[in-house]
A and B are shown apart, each in its own frame.
Chain A
Amino acid sequence: MQISKVSALLFSSILIVFFTSCVKDVDFEQAENITLTPTIASSILFSNSEASRFSDNGMELETVTDTVPDITILKDQFVNDNLIRAELVFEAANTINRTFGLQVDFLNEDDELEHTFSFFANPSSNGNEVITNYTEIFEDDSLEALKFTSKLIITLSLLPSNDGSMLNENSEGNIGLKSKGIFYFNVEL
């Protein structure tokens, strides 16, 4: 049968193409070590306080404190496993002729201090905005401390003036704080 011979020939040639087709020069095992290295930026705290608010019945408030409790994100398993570095960036804008100190305490679940840092916001002698930048870097030990953190205590302190003057209800100017966190991850899939 001529037809069946030709058919068989043609079909086998197609099949040969299929069976000799191949996937060359590739290495699919490379996919085993995928690494992602995203850097996440997030707003954290901000505040703006007028000079007059630091006066209370003729007395100055020396410190004001606030607490951010129940922080769960830093103890998250993903963060714990993959966070390799963090930076907290602060910007203080001061138009008051007084130095302010900002202190941030990092507490663990048992309210034990894991880490702390502080910086001073420089005074403005002429009412113009004086910007002070401060960056706290978390690596190695401090990074580990950060990963245990479940509570932040933020303390703003008003340092005494050089000339003994006090802020009162009519004092002008304000102290502004802005901040962001930059979190470096290394995620191996």
Chain B
Amino acid sequence: MKRHTLYTLALFLALTLSSFSQNKQLLFGFTDIPQSVLINPSTQLENDWFVGFPLLSQLHANVGLSGVSAFDLFADDGKDFNSKLQDVVFRMEATDFYTATQQVEIFSGGFSKGSSFERDSYFSFGIYLESDVIVYHPKDYLVLAYEGNANNIGRPFDIGDLNVSAEMLSVFHFGFSKKVNEKLTLGARAKIYSSIFNVNSTNNRGVFITEEGENNLLKHTFILDLNVSTSGLKSLLNDENTNATNDTQELVKRVLLGGNLGLGLDVGMTYQVSDQVQFEASLQDFGFINHTKDLETYDIKGNFVFDGINPVFPEVGDGQTAEEYYEEISENFEELFDTEAEAEKYTTLRPIKFNTALRYAFGKNRSRDCNCLADDDGYINAVGVQLYAINRPKAPQMALTAFYYRRILRGLRAKVTYTMDSFSYTNVGLGMSAHLGPLNFYILADNLLEYQNLAKAQSASLQLGLNLVFGRGQ
């Protein structure tokens, strides 16, 4: 792999380095922040129009590791690193995973439509870059690497423990939210995906097992059905040119719809049950990407049982010599593990995300310093629960959040969340959104309890951004 290509990719990743977890429990329903409309397209923003600062309107990064923290492994405790690593490898399950997500908005904007008293439509649009990696703990492969098969006679090694998916893509989107009646608002967002690169190996099956044999002391059985598909990597990693500019140009081209393309849809609804109670739900990224360009795919498929070289001694056995038998076995092995690169087209589904919330607003604004330009006469507090789910290769991941939202001042709003998910039961998050004139700045971070020692955290997420918002409730 060429170094400059790596740098270019790293630069791209660094660009998106920000904090944003797939679960945006702080942003969801935080309608003072325009980007909340990305989670539920039925969200009606209370402004006339907004525009995000290019590249700064939303930076989101999230890292998570289930089952273990960096501290478990790297604690400076004098214990032998290898035994700690081995302990972690054996303690974690094949359903544990490492995940990282990054998002950065390249451009975003939106505007409301309708008379100033009866605004019932909101349009929003933009382009963002997203990177998404999920790697499941390849437990059986690591156990095999650690112990070998000699002390694992009779133990099946699950080939399916290799489960990896990584991608970077740009998303062009346009959404529309419409108030159907006093209570119900519906919304939808159309998306075009341009995949910059994709690595997918999520459908592996099979087993490797060594057992006590009948013919011989041992019998080895291979049942393999492995597939690794990549798109967008081959040309970046193999090209002959040594000029980083070319790679950068290629990446920019792919961001601008020059990659492998796909389509997607977000849908959402908001229902005002009563003056104080609101329910909303949305589905994001119901879509697919067709990988047809710049492909490199690998397949290993076949069954094979090996119990040794037999028969030997053709004079006293049957026909075949050991040499012939050995050649046959070598050929079988080569055939089985033949990993010649091919270029098969494939389709990936985007991870569908589901968000729902029930919130209760209370406490009318009774400003002491008679704010005669009171921004609105709404409630200043809200509490509620949110449920988040994302479809992942092995099983959906879910998170349950309780939150408290408060309008602290006219231009300052805050949200506190408590979240339980695969990573922890004690995830406390805090988000703030400030409006100074048309300038809106927000910062959202979770896992605050772990910031004293990030190494102990199993996940962390940070999101911040800068927007220009006009006509906000005035």
Contact = CB atoms under 8 A, between A and B. Distances in A.
A11 B322 CA distance: 77
Contacts of B146: 36-38
A30 B147 CA distance: 21
B148 A41 contact: yes
Nearest to A24: B453
B411 A7 contact: yes
B358 interface: no
A2 B409 CA distance: 10
B323 A180 contact: no
A164 to B, nearest CB: 22
A3 to B, nearest CB: 5
B448 A17 contact: yes
Interface string B315-344: 111000111001100100000000000000
Contact of B436 (A4, A156, A183): A4
Interface string A48-59: 111001100000
Contact of B219 (A11, A38, A43): A43
Given A11-B434, A34-B81, A185-B148, A25 B312 contact: no
Contacts of A38: 144-148, 150
Contacts of A30: 74, 81
A39 B85 contact: no
Contacts of A185: 148
Contact of A64 (B316, B408, B414, B453): B316
Nearest to A156: B313
Interface in B237-255: none
A19 to B, nearest CB: 10
Interface in B392-412: 408-412
Given A10-B412, A185-B148, A21 B74 contact: no
Interface size, B (range): 35 or more
B308 A179 contact: yes
B474 interface: no
A21 B454 contact: yes
A45 B316 CA distance: 15
B81 A31 contact: yes
Interface string B352-382: 0000000000000000000000000000000
Contact of A47 (B70, B317, B448): B317
Per DSSP, chain B at the interface is: mixed
A169 to B, nearest CB: 13
Q: Which of A3, A34, A154 has the most CB of B within 10 A?
A: A3
A38 B157 CA distance: 14
B443 interface: yes
B453 A22 contact: yes
Given A43-B308, A69-B323, A23 B313 contact: no
Given A6-B409, A6-B412, A61-B315, A25 B436 contact: no
B90 interface: no
Contacts of A128: none
B461 to A, nearest CB: 12
Interface stretch (B122-130, B210-218, B226-234, B285-293): B210-218
A34 B86 CA distance: 10
Interface string B151-176: 10100000000000000000000000
A156 B311 CA distance: 13
Contact of A43 (B216, B316, B434, B445): B216
Contacts of A68: 309, 322-323, 326
A27 interface: yes
A163 interface: no
Contact of B454 (A23, A28, A70): A23
A39 B309 contact: no
Nearest to A61: B315
Contact of A39 (B75, B151, B217, B330): B151
Interface of A: 2-4, 6-7, 10-11, 14, 17-18, 20-28, 30-31, 33-50, 53-54, 61, 64-70, 89, 91, 154, 156, 177-180, 182-183, 185
Given A10-B408, A25-B77, A61-B315, 7 more contacts: A7-B436, A25-B75, A31-B74, A36-B145, A37-B146, A44-B309, A177-B312
23 contacts: A3-B409, A3-B410, A11-B434, A25-B71, A26-B70, A26-B76, A30-B81, A31-B81, A38-B145, A39-B150, A41-B153, A42-B218, A43-B218, A44-B309, A45-B216, A46-B216, A46-B308, A46-B310, A66-B322, A89-B217, A154-B313, A178-B217, A179-B308
Q: Which 10 A-B pairs have the closest CB atoms?
A: A38-B148, A21-B451, A43-B308, A41-B150, A39-B150, A30-B81, A46-B216, A53-B316, A66-B312, A26-B74
